[in-house]
Homo-oligomer: A and B are copies of this chain.
Amino acid sequence: MGIKERKAREKEQLRQQILSAARELFVNEGYENVSMRKIANKIEYSPTTIYLHFKDKADLLDSVCKETLLNLLNTLEHLKRDNTDPVETLRKSGRAYVEFGLKYPQDYKLTFVIRPQFQEGLGLQEGSVGEKVFNCLRAIVSECVEEKIFRQVDVETTGQVMWSAVHGVTLLLIDFPDFPWIEKDKLIDTVIHTTIAGLKA
């Protein structure tokens, strides 16, 4: 019965092929400027083959974003954590978050801006990767809160404030590259530093 498994493997392989072709094109040319035909050409299949693996273009985007979130999750979870200083861990995580966004700007925008527009009503459903990412942030924040380093008792509030800050600076730097920003690294550090300072009593 190994023959059925080979088929399944081949199918999964093609799925991955489509996915990585789509990602590459989305990232380089922007979601709107990539047609199903372009993706199909790249993998040397007919356009309709894609529809055997993905419901439509939005579904394809969805899958690409899921991968991006997995990458982000992986990045955040594998940070060297200083167990004696939770605030330092939070700072590092914030830094890593922004850096991730700037390293893969199109991926970041695809995931956190474009996708909500096309796939509306995504509220962090149970078991989703997005939920895991936020849980990761929640865990780090909660350590800081539990040790009463922060004024704010509420873990949710603290986490959401932190997310707002890093999300904001990431998107501004991506979307307005020609704006007269101060030195980029200084801005990122100051945003994170300021937010953490503000969260302390």
Contact = CB atoms under 8 A, between A and B. Distances in A.
A131 to B, nearest CB: 10
Contact of A157 (B161, B171, B182): B182
Contacts of A176: 116, 122-124
Given A32-B32, A179-B124, A163 B152 contact: no
A154 B168 contact: no
Interface string A50-69: 00000000000000000000
A121 interface: yes
B123 A190 contact: no
A62 to B, nearest CB: 15
B175 A116 contact: yes
Contacts of A180: 123-124, 156
Contact of A186 (B157, B163, B164, B194): B157
B190 A194 contact: no
A169 B164 contact: yes
A178 interface: yes
Interface in A35-60: none
Instruction: Rank and list the top 3 A-B pairs by shortest CB-CB distance, nearest first.
Output: A168-B168, A123-B178, A198-B198
Interface of A: 30, 32, 109, 112-113, 116-117, 121-124, 152, 154, 156-157, 160-161, 163-169, 171-172, 175-182, 186-187, 190-191, 193-199
